[in-house]
Chains A and B, each alone.
Chain A
Amino acid sequence: MVMSPAVNTYPLSSYTFGSKEAKIEKDTSVADRLARMKTNYVKEGMRTSVEGILLVQEHNHPHILLLQIGNTFCKLPGGRLKPGENEIEGLKRKLSSKLAANSSNLQPNWQIGECVATWWRPNFETIMYPYCPPHISKPKECKRLYLIHLSEKEYFAVPKNLKLLAVPLFELYDNVQRYGPVISTIPQQLSRFQFNMINNETNDK
């Protein structure tokens, strides 16, 4: 049989969560965000953003870590690359910015796995597609989602104004209303992986 690539997932309880100073969002509305994207596009060309899929397990089911802003809006940790920045280096930088403590001796050693999906934004609008639509020669953004391999213990420092949630795959699947088309389709993109659910010694296997 073809072996599926494996991902070790550890219980949520094996991670420690602290908090750090708030990371204020640069844009207060969708309109602001799209306007800023336009300004940056004129200066720097197409935006490339990178986001990380961090997995934990609870009750032997994979859960994805999401950052919640306010009461509803959820996003994956990640963000925009600087012009010319390498995707892997940029993703590590963004993950540390969103989830690592500020002191340098507590930096997680981010293990960036494979890219599982690419989404394209053809215009300065919210809609994105998992392919560059025909007849679009100048897409405005390319977003790449990467699987992150977490080690057994990590210390995460979450900005005070954000909540870190662990959401099960079954809750995300087909739930476009709540999570949007990029996050709600992650279960399909992860379906090829074999999840090794690793329990703490104190739990029953």
Chain B
Amino acid sequence: MNNSQLFNYTHGSSTSTDDGSQVEAIKIYGLSNYYFYSKPAPPLKNQTLEERISCLKTRYDVCGIRTCVEAVILVELSKTPQLLLLQLRNSTYKLPGGRLRPGESDIEGLKRKLTNKLSVHSDGILPDWEVGECLGRWWRVGFETLLLPYLPPNVRSPKECRKIFLVKLPERQKFTVPKTHKLLAVPLSQLHENHEIYGPVISGVPQLLSKFPIETASR
């Protein structure tokens, strides 16, 4: 039996489901294909846990459940897929993304947040982010409780819902990162099961990606 036909990590074969649909491979390009610039940033808000909880409560009274959308963006470095993460002040790691405005759709909101966090409006041309499927969702039941990947039974009013989307990069792109953040590329093997450093959402990303063959574009 030929091992390489099922070993879809680097050989890029796709797999079929019962209805004949293929799981499309994620194509990733080398980190060196991308250019990173820095841009000035507004001061950071809600830095302490207390401030964040208080903000969540205030907004909940006005707008109801908070929906956040976040992006999983992959690049290749050292022949392995790596996840782009933003890091604040040498501690908290975040996926690029943020809170939706009332009435805003998931996709529109995610594109808006990605442009704010990772791009620059030049000549009024917005970058065209390719938002793929939703990989997973997390819910916050109470204002101070942890995120869970399901809605517990008998919970009628969760306070937050966070949706994680796959975002595919073109072969080349320029990024501009606010001065308040660092942009890092972290290998999937470093994230896996590493709740302590990255939290349950980011450390769970490798499993959410596991059904996809990942194809590294060869030079």
Residues on A close to B: CB < 8 A? 1-2, 4, 44-46, 48, 59-62, 83-84, 87-88, 111-119, 129-134, 138-139, 142, 144, 146, 168-170, 173-174, 181, 185, 187-192
User: Which of A45, A61, A188 has the most chain B CB atoms closer than 10 A to its own CB?
Assistant: A188
A88–B16 touching, CB < 8 Å: yes
Q: A46-B7, A115-B23, A118-B211 are in contact. Are A133 and B18 (CB under 8 A)?
A: no
A187–B150 touching, CB < 8 Å: yes
| CB contact between A131 and one of B3, B9, B150, B163 (< 8 Å): that residue | B9
A62 to B150, CA, bound (A): 9
A181 to B23, CA, bound (A): 23
Cβ of B176 under 8 Å from chain A: no
Name the interface residues of B1-17: CB closer than 8 Å to any CB of A.
Answer: 1-3, 6-7, 9, 15-17
Name the interface residues of B102-128: CB closer than 8 Å to any CB of A.
Answer: 105-107
CB distance from B113 to the nearest CB of A (A): 15
Q: A83-B1, A132-B7 are in contact. Are A188 and B208 (CB under 8 A)?
A: yes
A112–B17 touching, CB < 8 Å: yes
Name the interface residues of B128-171: CB closer than 8 Å to any CB of A.
Answer: 133-138, 148-150, 152-154, 163
B80–A192 touching, CB < 8 Å: no
| CB contact between A192 and one of B2, B3, B135 (< 8 Å): that residue | B135
CB distance from B116 to the nearest CB of A (A): 20
Set of chain B residues within 8 Å of A119, measured between Cβ atoms = 210
Cβ of B206 under 8 Å from chain A: yes
A132–B17 touching, CB < 8 Å: no
